[in-house]
Amino acid sequence: MAVTALLGIVLAACTSTPDAAPASSSGPDCTLARTAMDDYSVALQDLATSMEAGDAMSAIAAADGMSYALDQLQEALPGMPAEGATFVAASRAVAVKVKQAAADSPAMSGLLADLTSDFADPAFEQGGAAIDAYVDQACPPASPSAS
């Protein structure tokens, strides 16, 4: 249950607004960025659920989902700020740790304490907030068209 509370903090730091302006050829891909942010949030929720259930296979799938969303996010945001890159690196480290722990011990003993420590790292909150701010600045909501 501690993972769920910590994931809530991480999710709050990295949220998205659905109505973004389309990407330009030289700037961020706003649609892909928002989708990746949403996919990352879902993967984190899946990770929390699998950890609470002690389900190693689901934890591995959630870690893979996190990694895929991070790949998409990096592709979508070529000008991501340094704090955002730190968030991505910390998130990748968590995904690798989950996969290694599940492979080494399907019971994932000790992993909850490690993840609690990992998610307490300021890189998650600060980096998630930096990504949010960058996306909000680079991808303002689309203006409603006049009818």
**Which residues does 61 contact at the CB level (< 8 Å), separation at least 6?**
46, 50
pLDDT tier, 146 (very low <50, low <70, confident <90, very high otherwise):
low
Q: What does the block give as tokens for 132?
A: 């949010």
Could you write out the three-class secondary structure of 20-38? ECCCCCCCCCHHHHHHHHH
For 18-52, write each residue's pLDDT tens digit.
444 444 456 899 999 999 999 999 999 999 999 88
Q: What is the pTM of this model?
A: 0.78
pLDDT given at position 35: 96
> Hey, CA dihedral for 126, 7, 87, 79, is it positive or negative?
negative
pLDDT digits (tens, 9 = 90+) for 81-140: 999 999 999 999 999 999 998 888 777 777 888 888 899 999 899 999 999 999 999 988
Cβ atoms of 129 and 80 closer than 8 Å: no
Specify the higher pLDDT residue, 142 or 95.
95
Closest CA to 22 of 11, 33, 9: 33
Q: Which helix (H) or strand (E) holds 110?
A: none
